[in-house]
A = this chain, B = another copy of it.
Amino acid sequence: MISLRASDHIPQLSIDCVIFGFSQNQLKVLSPKLIFKGDFWSLPGGFVRQDESIDQAARRILEERTGIKDIYLEQFRVFGETDRSNLSFWDRLTELNGEAFVAEHFNRKELEWITKRFVSIGYYALVDITKVIPVKMEADASVEWYDIQNLPPMIMDHNQIVAAALVSLQQNLDQKLIAFNLLPETFTMNEVQQIYEVVLNKTLLRSNFQKKILDLNVLERLEKKFTGKANKAPYLYRWAQ
């Protein structure tokens, strides 16, 4: 039985997290898939306990899924249309899995609580994908990274939430210098550029990009990185603010 402990939480208010990671020159989003029949993907989300702030709730949800405590987090928008509810998703779930099967996992009171209209606060997070060990929750069949250009169809308006998060990320990339949160402790300039290119969805001139980033004076240059490739070894950099 999946417990929501409804009474401990603020009703009709949820949090949805778009967790961005970067690997293989692709921007990725973490998405759990539910155990039920029917290919239900979603965003990692949850509810706000009465005794925690909304930021704390978002951090708790992120830590539950990724195991990481200090995560870069940004609240980017609230989704509050009148038709935002789990109801149609739930109908389809029941249709495909049978009333009895669903009843095994949720009691009636919780079902009533969770199928109401929900206002959802959208957060996006930037993580070093190498540090994340995706954690399956009770109702998860899998928790995987998906290319943002190739996301599975998600329940409710979660695909739109991802799209809105990406727009917000694009706007903040230069202004808040947050790209480095997607990288490990040390990285090469080429890796930074790849993030900029894939987030902004356009190619950048290498020489100009290098100059621009170095002129920010936020990076510390370390020793060179031996790659074993037939070219000059690139420097490693570290965020030094």
Residues on A close to B: CB < 8 A? Answer: 10-13, 48, 50-56, 75, 77-78, 80-82, 117, 119, 121
- Which listed residue (B55, B56, B119, B121) contacts A10, Cβ 8 A? B119
Copies assembled: 2
Chain B residues contacting A53 (CB-CB under 8 Å) are 80-82
Given contacts A10-B12, A50-B117, A75-B78, 5 further A-B contacts (CB under 8 A): A10-B13, A11-B12, A13-B119, A48-B119, A52-B82
- Which listed residue (B11, B48, B81, B82) contacts A11, Cβ 8 A? B11
The answer to whether B54 and A78 have CB atoms under 8 Å apart is yes
Q: What are 9 sample pairs from A and B whose C-beta atoms fall under 8 A apart?
A: A10-B11, A11-B12, A12-B13, A50-B82, A52-B82, A53-B80, A53-B82, A75-B77, A75-B78
The list of the 3 closest CB pairs from A to B, nearest first, reads A54-B80, A53-B81, A10-B12
The answer to whether A80 and B55 have CB atoms under 8 Å apart is yes
The answer to whether B13 and A48 have CB atoms under 8 Å apart is no
Chain B residues contacting A75 (CB-CB under 8 Å) are 77-78
The answer to whether B48 and A80 have CB atoms under 8 Å apart is yes
The answer to whether B121 and A78 have CB atoms under 8 Å apart is yes
Chain B residues contacting A48 (CB-CB under 8 Å) are 80, 119
Chain B residues contacting A13 (CB-CB under 8 Å) are 10, 12-13, 119
